[in-house]
Structures are given as structure tokens and as C-alpha cells.
Amino acid sequence: MTVTALPGAAGRSRRATLRRNFWRGVWRVLRRKPSRMAGVAICALFAVMGVAGPLLYPAHLPRDDDALYAPPSLSHPFGTDFEGTDVLALVVTGSRYVLLTGLATAVITVALGTAVGLFAGFRRGWQDTLLMRLTDLNLAIPGLPLLLVLSTVWKFESPLEMGLVLGLLGWGGIARAVRSQTLSLRERGFIEAARGLGLPTTHIIGRELLPSMAPYIAMNMLIAVTGAVYAQVGLFFLGVLPFEANNWGVMLNLAVFSGGALTTPAALPYLLAPLLAILLLTLGIVLVVDAMDEIFNPRLREE
């Protein structure tokens, strides 16, 4: 009907308004269910724990030789481990490795997946075919079995290395989804229109394509964090990864296989503390993703 060309200044202010509206929307969605606030709080808590947690404790955690597997008490809310170290301290100091791996994995997964998907969907032609074959290959390789095999070849000495490997194994799904999104945007004439206006490719990708996919990508990133946490904790739990630092998977492994946590209640707190941490992290991320889902996917909105 009416095409109103917006002058630059108005555009900027409109964008600012949009942003304000967006944050207002976020706040509204969060406020509607207190559980979502809890989710954000939990995620923030873990972020703080990962960044500042290890600083709260000395490099060598204190041990109490007379309190091996001590039951929970005021001074040890989750009891102590096999050599009398406070379990809570272990969970807190161990979070950095776990979360860093998760983050590294998520960043690599998302960056690689998005780049491949965008490029393939944008370029089409033989590059698309080639990249999609690569994606198929990535999806066809069984991840956990390969990790098991790799763990004997590769020493995952740093969380970043671990994240790199997990990320390299996991980008296929996102690449495929981003590509189909790109193609559908393309079908809707998005790209052609931008081309017609003489906008450069980087602008089209950076300003037009990415923003419309950003919510999807952000949600995937969060999900990738949990995926990576489980994968690495699971590998440590199986005991196939060499470990030097303390982390949750190592705690699980030691609790079950040398503490007998599943056989006797004595070491149960030692097992439950990292499990609780995992559950809490999951819960936090699930709640945040739920909120994001509603913010970005209006269909789920019921108003």
C-alpha cells in the first residue's frame, strides 16, 4: 500500500526503539513465569562460579585426613571426598574446566555450523554440494564412539582442546539448519532484494541474514553448552579421558568407581554434588531456552 522511506536519523531512532521494545519484551516474558527468572539467575550463578569460583579457594584445597567421606555438615555442605576435601569446593573449582569446555564447544560448534551453513546456502552450486557432503559426513560419524577412540590418541590437556574436538564433531546439525534457513530467506526474496539495492555481500550476511537467524543460533549455542558438558563429563565418568584437573566428571568417576557411591550411602554426597550441579545447570539453561523460545518464536506465545 504505502511505502514509507525512512530517513537515516529516523531509522536509527526506530532501531533504538525496537531495541528498547525488545528488552521490554524480554523483561515481560521473564516476568510472566518466575521460573524463567530462576533460570537466568542459575545461569548467571554458574557463570560467576566459573569465572570467580577458583579464586575463592587456595590452589591446593585443604584436606582433613580425619574426615574421609564425612557426611554433610555446616562446614562441609556436601560432605568430603576420599581424602577429606570439601566436596562443595571441588564442585566450585571444578566448574571452570567444565564450563570453559562447554563454552568453547558451543562457540566452535555455532561458529563453524553457521559459517558453513550460511556459505553453502548463500553460494549454492558446487560449493554448497561439497559443504553439504562434508556435513553429511560429519553427521554420519558416530560421535561418542569416535571420542572414545580419539581419547586414546589425543590428550585433552586443556578445556579448549576438549572443546575444539567436541565442536569439530558437532557442527553438522547447525550447518544444515542454517543452510535451510538461508535458502528459505533466499526464497522469500530477501537476498535478491538486498542485491538489487546494491548492498555488498558482507552487509547482506551481516545485517540481513544473521540477525534474522540470531535467535535460532543463540538457542543452539545454549543447547550446545549442555551437550558439551554432558559429553565431557560422561567421558570423564567412563574414565576414558586422562585427567589432571579436578572436574565434575572426575568426581563422578571417583565417587562411583572408587567410592562406591552407588553401593553405599557414605560417598553419596560426593556423587550427588556434581550430579546436582549438572541438573541445576541443565535446569537453568532449559528455562532460559524456554524463555528465548517464547521471545523469538511468537507462535508459542499465547497472546
Partner 1 sequence: MTRATANRAGALARRVAGHVARGLVMIWLVATISFVIIREIPGDPVLAMYESMLQKGMSPDQAERATAVLYGFLPKGSLWEQYTGYMGSLLHFDLGRSLSTPGVEVTSLIGSAASWTVLPVLAGTLLSFLLGVTMGVYAAVRRSGRLGDLLALSGSLLHGVPVYVIGLLLTAIFATLWPILPSGGPVDVEFTPGLNAGYLGSLVRHAVLPVVTYTLASYGGWILAMKSNVVTVLGDDFILAAELRGLRRGIVFRYLARNAILPLFTILALSIGMLFGGSIFIEEIFNYPGLGLLLVNSISSRDYALMGGTFLVITIGIVVANIVADLLYSVIDPRVRSGGTA
Partner 2 sequence: MKRLATFAALMAIVTATATACGGAAATDAGAEVDVYTTIDGTKQINASAPINPFNPVGSVFTGYNGMALAWARNHPTDPNRFYPALARSWTQSPDGAQVDIHLQPEARWSDGKPVTSEDVRVSIGLAYTQGGTAYALDPKAAGAAADVRVLDAKTIRVTQGANRSAAFLANLLSTVVVPAHVYGALLPRGFWDTLKVAQHDRGPAGERAKAVITGLADKVIAFSPEQDVSAGPFVLERVNPGAALLRRNPYFYNSRAIGPDKVKVLNYTGNEQIWNYLISGQLDNAPFTSVPAAVMERIRGARGSQVITGYSPVATSLAFNQSHKPYDNVHVRRALAYLIDREQVTRIAAPEGGTPAATTSGIHAKAARAWLGDGFAELEPYRLDPAKAAAELRAAGMKLRDGRWTMPDGSPWKVEIHVPASFSDWVSAAKSISSGLGDHGIDATVLTAADYSLYLSELAKGEYDLGFWLIGLGPSPYNIFQRLFGQANGWQMFGGRLTHVPPGTGGNWMGGPRTVEVAGEGLVDPGELTSRLNYVSPGEQRRIVGVLARIANEQLPAVQLWDYVNTQFVNTSRYTGFPPDDSEMLRLSSGVWMQLGMIRKRQP
Partner 3 sequence: MERHLTAPGVRIRGLTVVYNTPSGELPAVSGVDLTLAPGTITGVVGESGSGKSTLALSMLNAVQPPGRISAGSVEIDGLGDVVRLRGEELRRTRGRKVGYVFQAAQNSLNPLKTIGAQLLDLGRSHDVGDLRALVRDARELLGRMGMDGARVLDSRQHELSGGMRQRVGIMFALVLDARVVVLDEPTTALDMITQATILRIIREVHDERALTTLVITHDVGAVAEVADDLAVMYGGRVVEHGPVAEVLGAPEHPYTRGLIRAIPRLSGDLGLARALPGRPPTLGTLPAAGCVFRERCESSLDLCRTAEPVPAARAGRTVACHLPGPHAVPVKRKEYA
Footprint of partner 1 on this chain (CB under 8 A)?
133, 136-137, 139-142, 144-146, 148-150, 152-153, 226, 230, 233-234, 237-238, 240, 256, 262-263, 271, 275, 278-279, 282-283, 285-286, 289-290, 299-300, 302
60 binds partner 2 (CB under 8 A): yes
Gap between the Cα atoms of 169 and 252, Å rounded: 24
Cell numbers 521460573 correspond to: 35
User: Of 209, 254, 288, 295, which one interacts with partner 2 (CB under 8 A)?
Assistant: 254
68 binds, among partner 3, partner 2, partner 1, none (CB under 5 to 8 A by kind): partner 2
4 binds, among partner 3, partner 1, partner 2, none (CB under 5 to 8 A by kind): partner 3
2 binds, among partner 3, partner 2, partner 1, none (CB under 5 to 8 A by kind): partner 3
For residues 3 to 32, the per-residue mask of contacts with partner 2, x marking binding by CB under 8 A and - elsewhere, is ------------------------------
Nearer to partner 2 by Cβ, of 217 and 261: the residue is 261
Q: Which of residues 152-211 bind partner 2 (CB under 8 A)?
A: 152
Gap between the Cα atoms of 233 and 84, Å rounded: 22
Q: Which of residues 25-84 bind partner 3 (CB under 8 A)?
A: 28, 31-32
Nearer to partner 2 by Cβ, of 199 and 240: the residue is 240
299 binds partner 3 (CB under 8 A): no
* Cβ contact 257:265 at 8 Å: no
Gap between the Cα atoms of 217 and 36, Å rounded: 20
7 binds partner 3 (CB under 8 A): no
83 binds partner 2 (CB under 8 A): yes
Nearer to partner 2 by Cβ, of 68 and 286: the residue is 68
18 binds, among partner 3, partner 1, partner 2, none (CB under 5 to 8 A by kind): none
How is residue 192 written as a grid cell? Answer: 535478491
Closest contact distance (angstroms) between CB of 21 and partner 1 is 23
275 binds, among partner 2, partner 1, partner 3, none (CB under 5 to 8 A by kind): partner 1
Nearer to partner 2 by Cβ, of 67 and 281: the residue is 67
Counting residues that bind partner 2 (by CB under 8 A) gives 28
Nearer to partner 3 by Cβ, of 4 and 202: the residue is 4
Radius of gyration of the chain (CA): 23
How is residue 65 written as a grid cell? Answer: 585426613
Encode the chain in three state secondary structure.
CCCCCCCHHHHHHHHHHHHHHHHHHHHHHHHHCHHHHHHHHHHHHHHHHHHHHHHHCCCCCCECCCCCCCCCCCCCCCCECCCCEEHHHHHHHHHHHHHHHHHHHHHHHHHHHHHHHHHHHHHCHHHHHHHHHHHHHHHHCCHHHHHHHHHHHCCCCCHHHHHHHHHHHHCHHHHHHHHHHHHHHHHCCHHHHHHHCCCCHHHHHHHHHHHHHHHHHHHHHHHHHHHHHHHHHHHHHHCCCCCCCCCHHHHHHHHHHHCCCCCCHHHHHHHHHHHHHHHHHHHHHHHHHHHHHHHHCHHHCCC
User: Footprint of partner 2 on this chain (CB under 8 A)?
Assistant: 60, 63, 65, 68-69, 82-83, 151-152, 239-244, 253-254, 256-260, 262-267
